[in-house]
Amino acid sequence: MIDAIRILKSGDNDDLKNLIQTFNIHSRDADNNTLLHHACLLGNVEAVRLLLDSGVHANASNIDGQTPICDAALSGSAEIISLLLNSKVDVNPPSYWGSPLIYATQNESLHAMEVLIEAGASLNSPERSGLCPLHIAIQRRFYAGVYLLLSKEEEESRESD
């Protein structure tokens, strides 16, 4: 697995293509992460494409319940999030540390937040200490995120009336 992760980090997608043909792409590291988790965390869009095309399980969870979409949100890659959503991943996976929207908010990745919200991410799903995305955006003085979350909450409120 270590050699496979090195290839992901190098960004050499020709090596990755060769690896996919000889390596068990469903292998996991000590924390139960797959290569797709690592590719998402690294923000390697092409590697994510190759792995998804090779049939890797896009909703695989690690020991904390994090799925690759959580790692994509951690990296702030809206493009990878979109690729995963096209593979029908759960936008609200049960994770010990928080939701993908929590991670995108913590990283102040507005575009990633927009993609997640459009896909149905829960606006009020708290992280481990009880903070929701709006609380986090306010704490960080991430005003674009605050505005986005408040406007989406208002939209949801109007739709439910």
Beta strands in the chain (DSSP E): none
The answer to whether residues 44 and 6 touch, using CB atoms and an 8 Å cutoff, is no
| Contacts with 51 (C-beta within 8 Å, 6 or more apart), sequence order | 20, 25, 35, 36, 39
Give dist(CA 96, CA 73) in Å, integer: 15
- Residue pair 73/115 in contact by the 8 Å Cβ criterion: no
The pTM for the full model equals: 0.91
Find the distance separating the first CA and the last CA of the chain, reported in whole Å. Answer: 51
pLDDT tens across 62-111, in order?
999 999 999 999 999 999 999 999 999 999 998 888 999 999 999 999 99
Q: How far apart are CA 158 and CA 155, in angstroms?
A: 5
What's the CATH code, domain 2-160? 1.25.40.20
pLDDT value of residue 153: 87
Tokens 């929207």 -> residue: 101
Q: Where are the domains of the chain?
A: 2-160
CA atoms of 2 and 9, how far apart (whole Å): 11
| pLDDT at position 41 | 96
